Amino acid sequence: MRPASPPAFAPLTSRALIRAVLAMGAVVLLSNILVQYPINDWLTWGAFSYPL
């Protein structure tokens, strides 16, 4: 049995986690606002801002 490998990334600090959560919330909020503005009959600006 091989020993466990070390984690690939360092754990997030509380401050970094809060920043990441707020940034994701801002992107989702912006996308929900932009979905109201159509580009054509089947596409809105929200499609370009929503995260994959």
Whether 39 maps to a domain, the answer reads: yes
Whether 8 maps to a domain, the answer reads: no
Which pLDDT belongs to residue 51?
64
Residue 42's domain comprises 14-49
Whether 42 maps to a domain, the answer reads: yes
Whether 36 maps to a domain, the answer reads: yes
Backbone phi and psi for residue 6, each to the nearest 5 degrees, phi listed first:
-70, 155
Whether 6 maps to a domain, the answer reads: no
Whether 26 maps to a domain, the answer reads: yes
Whether 3 maps to a domain, the answer reads: no
List, in sequence order, every residue forming a beta bridge with 38; answer none if it has no partner.
44
For the chain, the domain total comes to 1
Whether 9 maps to a domain, the answer reads: no
Q: What is the pLDDT along the chain (52 residues), one digit of tens a residue?
A: 677 888 888 888 999 999 999 999 998 899 899 999 999 999 998 888 876 5
